[in-house]
Homo-oligomer: A and B are copies of this chain.
């Protein structure tokens, strides 16, 4: 963290979300540009937020019975080429290693854009009988996709993610897994990251290269655009056939396994950051905040020692006494010298720390301190006995709970109020063109219709609504019979 007390300027969020996002990412020292085009540097504070998100998601993945593994970074070209749709989809985005050990390689190696290929090859080696199934694997890894336009967290050449890969005995088992992980992603977004999402199946033209079905969660950003925040793919037997992943059934007949894959990347962190902040900076959901409470001592030179000492005592007491959702809280004392309290307040507001405690000499005498919360900015008094450090731990837990719930309520209300149903294609164009939000529209499920809408408006289908349109409902675009209700939006 920089100790410089310099003037900062953040573009107001209401004025330009996109510029606000870049300003905040850089000035809160979450990430920085790197010497390599399109690759970002995670600075300590940004990486600690990612580690917190990773921990929440990893807990969900392990609790649902999966095991972590790690597969190689490289994929030989001949292996990647085996699943035709898959390679066609990824070929334009692949980075190739052609030289190693001072020589040109006999076969180029792809840097993994995703690892279905390698899991397929290994499973084919490991799988023999139905008794070996299911394989429930996950890996945390870096992957590379050669993107043109990039933005920190939202789209980068190299990105950090988890990719789950599972193989099952039956189609039903694989479909159930696909749905189960989509629901885990939905809960991660809503319950941990306080970011409301729309979950559903993606259209055929929007699905993963090689999948039978792709399901996804889509978040609505403040500018009305959609951010794909996680996907769960039912791969049928496509990859099993390509990589010869088969097993013997009880009756000794040979069958291909049914496989799935699912992934969430650091992109979901970008979505979370963009969803919550305000003109002062970030607001981090307590469930993934690396620091829950910052204590700012306020003092003159002559009472500095006392106030800083009591601030550290209070921090220790909070760590010891407060339990929120059965976990301890992280507390930081900002005892940097030579900086005004006002500067420190702004600095931690910029970084989105959920709660701030202000502590001065008169507070210590009076047995109280000021507790300020980041979302609404409200302040209250917290009673503390500064001799014994007994305090009302429950009120801190309640403040965190309230902030977590409040952030999600705000996100949900904002997203749901901006889903439009429209009477005409003209109205559709207005909503989409003005960045007002998503349009839920009846669609004939034809790829040609989807392509025309994309060309004419920039909007694509994001996910299907779980309900089907009524029998006599017509497609908003073609006038033909509507087969789906789809969320349309322009997207990141």
Chain B, residue nearest A2 (CB): B132
Question: Is A306 on the interface with B (CB-CB < 8 A)?
Answer: no
Question: Is A4 on the interface with B (CB-CB < 8 A)?
Answer: yes
Could you say which residues of chain B place their CB within 8 Å of the CB of A125?
32
Question: Is A95 on the interface with B (CB-CB < 8 A)?
Answer: yes
Q: Separation in Å of the A165 CB from the closest CB of chain B?
A: 12
Of the candidates B92, B97, B142, B148, the one whose C-beta lies within 8 Å of that of A142 is B142
Q: Separation in Å of the A53 CB from the closest CB of chain B?
A: 13
Chain B, residue nearest A120 (CB): B35
Chain B, residue nearest A336 (CB): B131
A76 and B118 within 8 A (CB): no
Of the candidates B40, B50, B75, the one whose C-beta lies within 8 Å of that of A72 is B40
Of the candidates B51, B67, B131, B146, the one whose C-beta lies within 8 Å of that of A100 is B146
Question: Is A98 on the interface with B (CB-CB < 8 A)?
Answer: yes
How far is it, in angstroms, between the C-alpha of A158 and the C-alpha of B158 when the chains are bound? 17
A76 and B32 within 8 A (CB): no
Could you say which residues of chain B place their CB within 8 Å of the CB of A98?
96-99
Question: Is A447 on the interface with B (CB-CB < 8 A)?
Answer: no
B122 and A34 within 8 A (CB): yes
Question: Is A42 on the interface with B (CB-CB < 8 A)?
Answer: yes
Of the candidates B32, B95, B132, B141, the one whose C-beta lies within 8 Å of that of A3 is B132
How far is it, in angstroms, between the C-alpha of A79 and the C-alpha of B35 when the chains are bound? 8
Residue of A43, A68, A95 contacting most chain B CB atoms (<10 Å): A95
How far is it, in angstroms, between the C-alpha of A39 and the C-alpha of B71 when the chains are bound? 8
Residue of A42, A69, A73, A100 contacting most chain B CB atoms (<10 Å): A100
One digit per residue, 1 when the CB lies within 8 angstroms of any chain B CB and 0 when it does not, for chain A 103-144 equals 000001101000000100110011011011000010001101
One digit per residue, 1 when the CB lies within 8 angstroms of any chain B CB and 0 when it does not, for chain A 1-28 equals 0111000000000000000000000000
A41 and B132 within 8 A (CB): no
Chain B, residue nearest A91 (CB): B102
One digit per residue, 1 when the CB lies within 8 angstroms of any chain B CB and 0 when it does not, for chain A 392-411 equals 00000000000000000000
Question: Is A160 on the interface with B (CB-CB < 8 A)?
Answer: yes
Given A97-B97, A98-B96, A131-B4, also A34-B71 (CB < 8 A): yes
Chain B, residue nearest A79 (CB): B35
Given A48-B68, A69-B47, A118-B35, also A93-B101 (CB < 8 A): yes
B35 and A75 within 8 A (CB): yes
Could you say which residues of chain B place their CB within 8 Å of the CB of A95?
97, 99-101, 109
Question: Is A36 on the interface with B (CB-CB < 8 A)?
Answer: yes
Given A75-B35, A148-B101, also A67-B44 (CB < 8 A): yes
Could you say which residues of chain B place their CB within 8 Å of the CB of A42?
69-71
Could you say which residues of chain B place their CB within 8 Å of the CB of A97?
95-98, 111
B109 and A36 within 8 A (CB): yes
Could you say which residues of chain B place their CB within 8 Å of the CB of A144?
73
Q: Separation in Å of the A245 CB from the closest CB of chain B?
A: 14
Could you say which residues of chain B place their CB within 8 Å of the CB of A73?
39, 111, 142, 144, 158
Chain B, residue nearest A43 (CB): B69
Chain B, residue nearest A144 (CB): B73
B92 and A101 within 8 A (CB): yes
Question: Is A419 on the interface with B (CB-CB < 8 A)?
Answer: no
Chain B, residue nearest A31 (CB): B70
How far is it, in angstroms, between the C-alpha of A144 and the C-alpha of B97 when the chains are bound? 11
How far is it, in angstroms, between the C-alpha of A67 and the C-alpha of B100 when the chains are bound? 32
Given A36-B72, A70-B160, A73-B142, also A3-B47 (CB < 8 A): no
How far is it, in angstroms, between the C-alpha of A208 and the C-alpha of B9 when the chains are bound? 43
Q: Separation in Å of the A71 CB from the closest CB of chain B?
A: 6
Query: Lowest 3 A-B CB distances belong to which pairs?
Result: A101-B146, A44-B67, A39-B72
15 residue pairs of the A-B complex, CB under 8 angstroms, read A2-B132, A32-B126, A35-B72, A35-B118, A36-B74, A39-B72, A40-B72, A41-B70, A41-B71, A43-B69, A48-B68, A96-B98, A97-B97, A99-B108, A101-B148
Other contacts beyond A4-B132, A39-B74: 4, CB < 8 A: A35-B121, A73-B111, A97-B98, A141-B142
